[in-house]
Structure 1
Amino acid sequence: MQLTFDADVERFRAEFAAFLDEHLPDEAVAKERSRSSSDVPEWARRWQRLQFDEGWLLPGNPPEFGGRDATLVQQYVHLAELSRRRIYHSFNPQGVGIVAASLLSFGTEEQKHRWAVPILRAEITASLGMSEPGAGSDLASLRTRAVRDGAEFVVNGQKVWTSGAHDADVLLTFVRTDPDAPKHKGISVLMIPTGTPGVTRRPFGSLIARDDLDFNEVFFTDARVPLENLIGPLNEGWRVANGSLGHERTLLWLSFADRMDEFLHDFTPRGPLDRDAYATAVMDAHALRLLGSTALARASRGEEDTASISVLKLLGSEAVQAAAERALSSAGPEGLAHPARTAPYTHLHLESFGGSWFERYARSFAGTIAGGTSEIQRTIIAERVLGLPRS
């Protein structure tokens, strides 16, 4: 395996690095922080808009949508450079990475320019309305209904875990439009402005973020949505969902690899047990990057390898969780309170993976749930890699 990049890829990386060196907002300008994953401070809107205009927001997109038709490997080094410097390219990650990407894949030209471009230019923000109290990883079990009434859909139901919904302008919402069809067949996707009468957003805290609210319950009570807000064909929402999550998952393993690197940076082995835990984390980190590089190479050749994404998601999320658990155990009672992070963060840097080792361990469960639970990933691997029967 060749773990180096061609000269054109390195030129691409150097050009992006030079852009960052020249244009990063200075700390005095960027004091205001985001309140949620759909709240973008004004300075961050200007920063995102500059990246869009220069083709650095999502380099794989065509220029009119904030990119420069970059190859998959170039997109990887773009993310790697952001990760190495630990900076955001957007403070509305779901809006840019999933909602706008889904609009570009499945929306009409009018919808792309009505919603995708404003999201990418940080003129509006967006959240993803997928999960429900009884439909998390099993999206096909969703019950939020949309019934056609003339030129509108009437929507009733509830979403939950909708990150940033209370600050979002629009929700990409998955609804059931044919209750008599097989559960994978009767789903559609609507773009619903959050100011629509009948839409109620209720933020709530979590074990880690009790005051800094991001999660939401969203209730739809006879909310009327124009037919023109349908994204993709009627009753073809399952295909849109797979495409939406595909945008999220393609290079998802990189975020887990970065967290493993952060863990290794912060964890100092002290005794035999600590050294064993540290060595295990080192091996997991190397395995994740090597398998990720293999999957990247396959994808860059146009080879479809859905199973490898599940393997990487499962390995990455559980490696992070196991590393945090071992570190917490090694730290003993001090791990409940004392900060584990040693490197400083500046204005544009990503939020730390946690504060204390306990907080890191608690946060790690999100990685084994969001984007498809570990149980779901094991099912995919069993069926598509090992060829085991569905029963």
Structure 2
Amino acid sequence: MQLTFDPDVESFRDEFVAFLDKHVPAAAAEAIERPKSVSHMPQWARRWQRLLFDNGWLLPTQPPEFGGRNASVLQQYVYLEELCKRRIYHSFNPQGVNIIAASLISFGSDEQKKRWAVPILRAEITASLGMSEPSAGSDLASLRTKAVLDGDHFVVNGQKVWTSGAHDADVLLTFVRTDPDAPKHKGISALVIPTNTPGVTRRPFPDICGQDNLDFNEVFFEDVKVPAENLVGPLNQGWGVANGSLGHERTMMWLGFADRLDNVISDFEPKDDLERDHYATAIMDRQALRLLGSVALARAARGEEDVPALSVLKLLGSEAERQACENALSAAGSDGLLHPVLTGPYEPMNLDHYFGSWFERYARSFSGTIAGGTSEIQRNIIAQRVLGLPAR
């Protein structure tokens, strides 16, 4: 077993570290606009993302025309590892870059890549993902938003919810039902819908942490006319596009959980035997996640696809983070309601500004058990595809 990287991977890491040392934005003498949410893109953040794109450091595994340098899976891993170490973002439109642009590159036409993928990657426009609905959250195939083909355009009616960043987005990659008579996993299509299209209404709403960080949205479509050329992939084959989109989201999601567990461990202050036991549990969970993740990473580097392993990692990482935050909040007591981070000077690339109090970190930790497939869905996948149990 080799637990180190080959020289070419470490050389790749060194090159990226040198780039970060030289270019990461720092607090300027004049005030820098604080992003209103993780999806909001002030001008300095657009310049940062464009700099990454122009130097091949935005999506390293993509070719240069899409902001990359044809990096290997292992090189992509050390790239993400260095971002995590510094607790910085490569984009304040992560869904647009990591999911939507990547999906357009995989499934879109050359014109769609030029029209939408590249501008998203260059931070000229932002994008949001329209998947979940009031009656179709974990069970995406139950979506009801309908698109009827009428000549050279679709007419879209329906609603999406939990649509992160939609109020800031220029376009939505929206999953719609185009064949109501087909089985529920069939008859789904993917459309790119500009948010300024008549009939599109976006309503941001706060999460449990309040109004300061609006990110979620309800999105309503009322007789929205979308050109047929905005169809991504074949008609009625959107389920494949959806799985590809979620695949882009899940591939190395476990690394983010491991990083956030590191952050909890570094900030946790146990005071008695029970709290020390909780502290040790968080350390063991972090170590297990990294070791299992390394196995999955090695398989990916060999070109092997292991979707059940990603479900195990996603379930373990999200639940471990939630439990660690709950234990840390309990240990902090009433002090856990205080927000110690924002009292210092604002540094634009420091993720500490988004972590907040232990209560906020605990409340936000639940999102990890939902986004990218809920813990319940992951348990079903593991039961059926790892343990071989029958579907109910």
Which residue in 1 is equivalent to 2:235? 234
**Are the aligned partners of 1:35 and 1:212 in contact in 2 as well (CA < 8 Å)?**
yes
- 2:213 counterpart of 1:212: yes
Shift of 1:332: 2.8
Which residue in 2 is equivalent to 1:286? 287
**Are the aligned partners of 2:269 and 2:331 in contact in 1 as well (CA < 8 Å)?**
no
Provide, for residues 141-188 of structure 1, a one-character-per-residue CA deviation record: whole Å limited to 9, x for no partner: 000000011100000000001111111100000000000000000100
Moved more, 355-364 or 368-377: 355-364
Please show how residues 130-279 of structure 1 align to structure 2 within 5 Å: 130-279=131-280
Shift of 1:350: 1.9
Which residue in 1 is equivalent to 2:95? 94
**Are the aligned partners of 1:30 and 1:347 in contact in 2 as well (CA < 8 Å)?**
no
Q: CA RMSD in A?
A: 1.7
Q: In structure 2, how many angstroms separate the alpha carbons of the residues matched to 1:103 and 1:280?
A: 41
Which residue in 2 is equivalent to 1:125? 126
Shift of 1:345: 6.8
Please show how residues 11-90 of structure 1 align to structure 2 within 5 Å: 11-28=11-28, 31-90=32-91
Shift of 1:292: 0.6
Q: Which amino acid aligns with 1:39?
A: H
Shift of 1:45: 1.0
**Are the aligned partners of 1:266 and 1:340 in contact in 2 as well (CA < 8 Å)?**
no
Shift of 1:340: 8.2
Q: Which amino acid aligns with 1:14?
A: D
Which residue in 1 is equivalent to 2:6? 6
**TM-score by structure 1 length?**
0.97
Q: In structure 2, how many angstroms separate the alpha carbons of the residues matched to 1:340 and 1:378?
A: 35
Shift of 1:352: 4.8
Q: Which amino acid aligns with 1:171?
A: L
Which residue in 1 is equivalent to 2:112? 111
Count of equivalent residues: 391
Q: In structure 2, how many angstroms separate the alpha carbons of the residues matched to 1:361 and 1:91?
A: 22
**TM-score by structure 2 length?**
0.96
Please show how residues 312-331 of structure 1 align to structure 2 within 5 Å: 312-331=313-332
Shift of 1:24: 2.0
Q: Which amino acid aligns with 2:58?
A: L
Unpaired stretches in structure 1, ≥5 consecutive residues: none
Structure 1 pair 345–300 and aligned structure 2 pair: CA distance change class (3 A): farther
Q: In structure 2, how many angstroms separate the alpha carbons of the residues matched to 1:8 and 1:344?
A: 38
Structure 1 pair 303–30 and aligned structure 2 pair: CA distance change class (3 A): farther
- 2:369 counterpart of 1:364: no
How many percent identity over aligned positions? 73
